[in-house]
Amino acid sequence: MNDAQNFNEIHTPVLVDRVVELVAPALQGENALYVDGTLGMGGHAEAVLRACPNAKLIGFDRDAEAIAIARERLAGFADRVQTVHAVYDEFADRLDDLGVAEIDAVFFDLGVSSLQLDEAERGFSYMQDAPLDMRMNRSEGITAADLIAELSEAELRELFYRYGDEKLAPRYARAIVAAREISAIETTGQLVDILQKATPAAKRNAGHPAKRVFQALRIRVNGELDALESALPQALDRTRLGGRVVVEAYQSLEDRFVKRTFSEVTESSAPRDLPFIPDDMQPEFRLLTRGAERATDAEAELNPRAKPVRLRAVERIRSRKS
């Protein structure tokens, strides 16, 4: 990528103005620390650094290629940027390595990135034929092809139910097992063909048959829910008084966990019949959003990947409990 590359043409960050609006109040102090747990190609980070001249960024990403692009995009802020090649569930350990005890704001943009979707060879898209990979970090771990080859019919069925909410999971699992007995399933095109043939005619107009299966495989390959369930509590714990945590989720499993976690930290732990709430039972955070915020119709039309987004945010209002 050369210096003339227009980064906004290859990556349009979702709800970027709203994210800046939410984190900026916590990033006005000298040397304020902003953590982007999913740096990607740096679209949100660029907007935050531009709007908050006192802020310093620590950007996490498991994808080395994304980090390289983000560094180029953020070159004008290089003295305020530090990148970390790691999954965000290593949040606390990596901050410890950097000598950082507390942060002022943190942002997570969950799911697969534009870079990963748009590069056919990564195997994330069911619209292009490519090796069945789906690893966000291509230097390690199992691939989607490994799962398709090794999981039993029952395990595939459970995977598609759990991470894809796929109602045709039994039919798809059975078709995959039958097909792999004939020849190995190594490409996205092969898998899509199997799923299309296994889809009843009456269901073929109800969205692409591979959508939920690909989602389930991607989540399992990258341990996405496990990482989120570990990372979000770590982020909340490291957020200083007045600090903010903002999350964008794109599928229901992620959003349900974010909603539940934010509810737990913004509600009092006191029994309902107490006449007053002791300080140690007061919530540590308050909600900054009413429910989940969505992209406008106008943004979703310009950037279709914004359509499923659910944004939630909280602010720390009490110091951490000992």
The CATH number linked to 255 is 3.40.50.150
- Taking a C-beta distance cutoff of 8 angstroms, is the pair 134, 64 a contact? no
Q: Is 133 annotated in some ligand binding site?
A: no
Contact 223, 110 (CB under 8 A): no
Q: How many domains does the chain have?
A: 2
Structural domain contains residue 1: no
Q: What is the pLDDT of residue 123?
A: 63
Token duo for residue 302: 């310009």
In a domain, 155, yes or no: yes
Region class of 266: left (phi > 0), else alpha (psi between -120 and 50), else beta: alpha
Considering the domain architecture, whether residues 86 and 132 belong to the same structural domain is answered as no
Q: Kindly state whether residues 98 and 237 are assigned to the same domain.
A: yes
For residue 4, what pLDDT is reported? Answer: 34
What is the CB-side half-sphere exposure of residue 199 using CA atoms within 13 A?
21
Instruction: Give pLDDT, residue 2.
Output: 41
Q: Where are the alpha helices (DSSP H) in 135-269?
A: 144-150, 153-164, 169-180, 188-198, 211-222, 224-238, 252-266
Same domain, 96 and 228: yes
User: How many whole angstroms separate alpha carbon 164 and alpha carbon 26?
Assistant: 36
Q: CB under 8 Å to 262, separation ≥6 — which residues?
A: 285, 287, 312, 314
Q: Which residues contact 82 (CB under 8 A, 6 or more apart)?
A: 56, 57, 58, 59, 98
**Structure token digits, residue 134:** 């789906």
- Residues (pLDDT < 70) of the chain are 1-11, 112-124, 205-206, 269-280, 321-322
Per the CB < 8 A criterion, the answer to whether 72 and 115 are in contact is: no
pLDDT at 63: 87
Is 116 labelled a binding residue?
yes
**CA geometry: angle at 294 spanning 288 and 300, to 5°?**
145
Structural domain of 147: 121-222
Q: How far apart are CA 141 and CA 127, in angstroms?
A: 24
Q: Is 85 annotated as a binding residue?
A: no
29 known member of a binding site: no
Does 207 belong to an annotated binding site? no
